[in-house]
């Protein structure tokens, strides 16, 4: 593992960036055990390719008026997939809006994701990970939820952990500090993962904070912070896995800064060329996570061209089937907006629901 600290002498930095795979996919050495398991590595790779394929399809659907505003995860697949791959089924995920890969790895279906981004609440009624939180949009506001859920695990003496993912911009918010602080005080089984993609819409990392790294923001609240190469799926999985173990067994929370790069626009209504040089993006394409893992698979596990082609075909079919299922799903009945407002509809609201249902409900 590479633990070099760039500019350490100058900055006095105490945190190294952890990495197992160089950008060209060659291994640095001391690989974790799972990296030698061909099946497991192929599964990790498959989830990342599936995530990117879903992403491409979502943008295509949005451009043709068949999906709402969508946030691409292009270039960040290793953070989301690597983190979720380290989870156990009964851990819970609290994702933000750019962690499709984590949700897919957790068993959220592509059809459910399309439904959510297509404007249908049923997309957050996951058939698979029933206790995972829905996608969080108000930045950082879900971080305290992770602490609350983790506290519930600890109080019930369950060996489970909450994994919360958010972006670099979220670390400027009070919710981040407040949640991290109380997680430190209470020692709850919670892992906080910053997917630092360098840009909060148009605001670059350097304008977000003068802090040397985002990981060191844990120091003030007594939580260990580590920086990991977020484009190295092996490193993300290993670091998050270790943190989850510490959470489940010792109730020790962790902060992980996964350093990655947003290769796409913020969302489909954004145009990053207004504020970001193409040259910078081009430079980061050379470090992107999928080519890196493919090179590793090819060199270390003899991943063949045939296997690659079979995988792409299988994924194309899976995504197309999900698109079909999504497009064939009718909208809910209008009155459905009242159906889960409360456990049972208060009589005071019966009239409004009846009006939507096309019945004479009067006022109410």
Binding mask 12-31 for other proteins (x = CB under 8 A): --------------------
Rounded least distance, CB 144 to other proteins, Å: 3
Judged by CB under 8 A, the residue of 211, 337, 358, 359 near other proteins is 337
Closest CA to 286 of 80, 98, 75: 75
Asked about 145 being catalytic, the answer comes back as no
3-state helix, strand, coil in the chain (%, to 5): 50, 10, 40
Judged by CB under 8 A, the residue of 17, 48, 83, 147 near other proteins is 147
Residues 218 and 224: their CA atoms lie apart, in Å, by 6
For residue 83, what is the enclosing H or E element?
helix 77-85
Place of tokens 């992403």: 55
Closest CA to 167 of 144, 198, 188: 198
Tally the residues of the chain: 364
Give the end-to-end CA distance of the chain in Å, rounded to a whole number: 65
Chain centroid to Cα 42, Å, comes to: 20
Q: Which of 88, 249, 275, 340 is catalytic?
A: 275
> What tokens does 127 get?
């058939």
Cα–Cα distances in Å, from 37 out to 94, 126, 295, 297, 362? 28, 30, 16, 10, 65
Q: How many helices (H) and strands (E) does the chain have?
A: 13, 8
- The sheet carrying 17-18 orders its strands as 17-18, 224-229, 254-259, 190-196, 162-167, 92-94
Residue 289 DSSP SS3:
helix
Judged by CB under 8 A, the residue of 151, 239, 247, 322 near other proteins is 151
Q: Is 330 in the site for other proteins (CB under 8 A)?
A: no
Judged by CB under 8 A, the residue of 20, 70, 97, 126 near other proteins is 126
Asked about 266 being catalytic, the answer comes back as yes
Total residues contacting other proteins (rule CB under 8 A)?
46
Q: Which of 237, 266, 292, 353 is catalytic?
A: 266
Rounded least distance, CB 193 to other proteins, Å: 16
Rounded least distance, CB 191 to other proteins, Å: 14
Rounded least distance, CB 75 to other proteins, Å: 28
Rounded least distance, CB 342 to other proteins, Å: 5
Stretch that binds other proteins, among 6-14, 19-27, 144-152, 289-297 (CB under 8 A): 144-152
Q: Is 124 in the site for other proteins (CB under 8 A)?
A: yes
Q: By CB under 8 A, what part of segment 63-92 binds other proteins?
A: 92
β pairing state of 203-204 and 199-200? antiparallel
Place of tokens 């609440």: 121
Q: Is 2 in the site for other proteins (CB under 8 A)?
A: no
Judged by CB under 8 A, the residue of 2, 27, 141, 307 near other proteins is 141
Asked about 275 being catalytic, the answer comes back as yes
Measured from the Cβ of residue 310, the count of other Cβ atoms closer than 10 Å reads: 11
Q: Is 53 in the site for other proteins (CB under 8 A)?
A: no
Stretch that binds other proteins, among 56-64, 176-184, 247-255, 286-294 (CB under 8 A): 176-184
Judged by CB under 8 A, the residue of 6, 10, 155, 306 near other proteins is 155
Place of tokens 């993962």: 193
| φ/ψ (deg, to 5) at 108 | -70, 135
Judged by CB under 8 A, the residue of 40, 159, 181, 354 near other proteins is 181
Q: Which of 100, 237, 262, 292 is catalytic?
A: 262
Rounded least distance, CB 328 to other proteins, Å: 19
Strand partners, 289: none
Interface residues with other proteins (CB under 8 A) are 92, 121-122, 124-126, 130-131, 133-134, 138, 141-153, 155, 162, 174-175, 178-179, 181-182, 185, 337, 339-343, 346-349, 362-364
What residues are labeled active site?
262, 266, 275
């Amino acid at each position: 593992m590479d633990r070099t600290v760039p500019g350490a002498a100058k900055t006095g930095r105490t945190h190294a960036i952890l990495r197992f795979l160089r950008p060209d996919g060659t291994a640095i050495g001391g690989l974790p055990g799972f990296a030698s398991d061909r099946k497991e590595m192929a599964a990790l790779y498959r989830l990342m390719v599936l995530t990117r394929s879903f992403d491409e399809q979502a943008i295509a659907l949005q451009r043709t008026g068949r999906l709402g505003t969508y946030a691409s995860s292009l270039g960040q697949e290793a953070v989301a997939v690597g983190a979720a791959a380290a989870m156990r089924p009964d851990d819970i995920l609290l994702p933000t809006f750019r962690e499709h890969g984590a949700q897919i790895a957790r068993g959220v279906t592509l059809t459910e994701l399309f439904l959510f981004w297509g404007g249908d609440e049923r997309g957050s009624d996951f058939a698979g990970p029933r206790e995972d939180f829905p996608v969080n949009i108000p930045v950082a506001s879900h971080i305290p939820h992770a602490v609350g859920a983790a506290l519930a695990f600890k109080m019930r003496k369950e060996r489970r952990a909450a994994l919360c993912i958010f972006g670099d911009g979220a670390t400027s918010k009070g919710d981040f500090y407040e949640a991290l602080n109380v997680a430190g005080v209470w020692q709850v089984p919670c892992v906080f993962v910053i997917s630092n993609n360098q840009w909060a819409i148009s605001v670059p990392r350097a304008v977000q904070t003068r802090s040397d790294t985002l990981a060191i923001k844990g120091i003030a609240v007594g939580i260990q912070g580590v920086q990991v190469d977020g484009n190295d799926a092996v490193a993300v999985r290993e670091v998050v896995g270790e943190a989850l173990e510490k959470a489940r067994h010792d109730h020790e929370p962790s902060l992980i800064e996964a350093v990655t790069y947003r290769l796409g626009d913020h969302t489909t209504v954004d145009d990053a060329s207004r504020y970001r040089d193409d040259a910078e993006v081009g430079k980061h394409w050379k470090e992107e996570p999928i080519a890196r893992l493919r090179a590793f698979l090819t060199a270390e596990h003899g991943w063949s061209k045939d296997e690659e082609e079979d995988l792409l075909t299988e994924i194309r079919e899976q995504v197309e089937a999900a698109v079909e299922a999504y497009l064939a799903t009718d909208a809910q009945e209008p009155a459905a907006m009242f159906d889960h407002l409360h456990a049972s509809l208060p009589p005071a609201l019966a009239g409004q629901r009846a009006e939507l249902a096309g019945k004479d409900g009067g006022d109410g």
